[in-house]
Amino acid sequence: MSRPDVIVVGAGVVGLSAAIAAQMRGLSVVVIDREGPAAGASAGNAGAFGFTDILPLASPGILRKAPRWLLDPLGPLSIPPRYALQIAPWMLRFWRACSKDRVEHSTAAQTALMDLSRADLEPFLAATGTSAMLRKEGNLQVYESEAEFQASLPGWQARERHGIAFRHMDADQMAGIQPGLSPRFIRGTFTPGWYSIADPKLYVLALAEQFRAQGGSIELGEVQALAPVTDGVDVHQPAGATRHAAQVVVAAGAFSHRIARSLGETIPLETERGYNTTLPPGAFDLRTQVTFGGHGFVVTRLSTGIRVGGAVELGGLSLPPNFARSQAMLTKAKAFLPGLNGEGGRQWMGFRPSLPDSLPAIGHARASQNVIYAFGHGHLGLTQSTGTARLVSELLLRARPSIDLSPFSPQRF
Ligand SMILES: Cc1cc2nc3c(=O)[nH]c(=O)nc-3n(C[C@H](O)[C@H](O)[C@H](O)COP(=O)(O)OP(=O)(O)OC[C@H]3O[C@@H](n4cnc5c(N)ncnc54)[C@H](O)[C@@H]3O)c2cc1C
């Protein structure tokens, strides 16, 4: 069996983007995934390149909304009672990350990674033959009251300080961008620099094809543990099988901390489970992505349908999905977009890989410079995939990273 320069664990959008970036820089790469490409969160997300979403989720604003949201068991944020004790340490860290100083620090780091990802996006799509999948339709955030709109203004001012363009709108102006919104939405903010992909699953499958076409191989298999050895890293798989590579990238999404644990490292990765329903194409004449921020969900036009989804359920990796959440968002979407045809949808749940301060982990493992972590992108894994891919390839080549990686240090907790 060949001994590649690099083994990437995980064939989601982060792992495959990193694998392609490494391949483009002349390294031989094998990707290992227990289910094959696009099996995890990367398949069913909302497809947004939300480059303007630079404010961390861990923020005073979320602390204000959380108590009200938690009262509704099918609302935007929920904690299943069976998981409450387990998630408590993560929640404490999240709460600590909401201080003013920490939010400013995270926003600056997030902005740097967003800028890098945006700069790399179109060249990466061109190099992988996926440019036709890019949509530049912006995002319309809508508000139901003047008070909700006013409460959003500090966030928009912070974005303005980071050079992000947006336009506040009244109902008539919104109708020019997106006809068919319920009159309950009296204000909105349009962000033109918010892009999306025609379909996130098809995009990852196209990346997988491109990676193979350039000589990469994708193997089906579970990675159980990593062991640094003198000339690289042993990758342990079930039944005693072992692969070897000079370097390994851990991009196993919400499961990555289990692999880190095999190296003696504890990383507080949790999952924010998210839900959606994908309706047939034509269910609504959607012209931009619409965010119902007060209700924690978005509606997105994909080439494969209209996707209604979002919500955060802090429920871990083992509890069964509660698809009443998908239904609850769909019911609201029908009220918010009265022309929406809610028939014929497919429901889905996915595991956002989330660290408590809303920043990913990008950097070396403590145990070895030959193991690189690239996980924990939370709500923004697709958005930040190209920037992360560049950073991973720089770490693999021992080159100076394009941005300061200290805020993303896997050892920061
Ligand atoms: C409802 C919802 C909406 C979202 N919307 C957006 C959006 O609009 N824009 C955006 O940027 N982000 C969005 N996200 C977040 C985004 O989907 C994730 O951040 C991103 O997909 C994470 O990518 P990943 O490659 O790290 O993980 P994944 O896509 O989960 O891939 C991890 C892979 O690792 C494999 N794996 C795990 N453990 C092992 C192991 N031990 N051995 C071998 N293989 C293993 C899995 O099979 C999987 O294929 C959304 C998420 C959800 C849930």
pLDDT of residue 63: 84
| Ligand 1 atom index nearest CA of 251 | 26
Q: Where along the chain do its domains lie? A: 1-58+97-135+194-267+355-413
- Whose structure tokens read 């050895």? 229
The CA 57 to ligand 1 mean position distance, Å, reads 18
Task: List the residue whose alpha carbon is closest to atom 50 of ligand 1.
Answer: 45
pLDDT of residue 117: 98
| Ligand 1 atom index nearest CA of 275 | 1
Cβ proximity of 256 and 250 under 8 Å:
yes
Task: List the residue whose alpha carbon is closest to atom 39 of ligand 1.
Answer: 252
Segments of the chain with pLDDT less than 50: none
Name the maximum alpha-carbon separation found in the chain. Answer: 66
pLDDT of residue 359: 97
DSSP for residue 377? B
Distance CA 290, CA 165 (A): 17
Domain 1-58+97-135+194-267+355-413 CATH superfamily? FAD/NAD(P)-binding domain (3.50.50.60)
pLDDT of residue 408: 98
| Ligand 1 atom index nearest CA of 258 | 41
Cβ proximity of 69 and 296 under 8 Å:
yes
| Ligand 1 pocket member 367 (CB < 6 A) | no
pLDDT of residue 332: 97
Task: List the residue whose alpha carbon is closest to atom 3 of ligand 1.
Answer: 45
Distance CA 193, CA 371 (A): 34
The CA 378 to ligand 1 mean position distance, Å, reads 8
What are residue 377's DSSP bridge partners?
Answer: 354
Q: What are the residue ranges of helices labelled H in 264-384?
A: 324-336
| Ligand 1 atom index nearest CA of 38 | 49
pLDDT of residue 1: 60
pLDDT of residue 258: 98
pLDDT of residue 330: 98
Cβ proximity of 332 and 295 under 8 Å:
yes
SS3 per residue for 59-113: CHHHHHHHHHHHHCCCCCEECCHHHHHHHHHHHHHHHHCCCHHHHHHHHHHHHHH
pLDDT of residue 156: 95
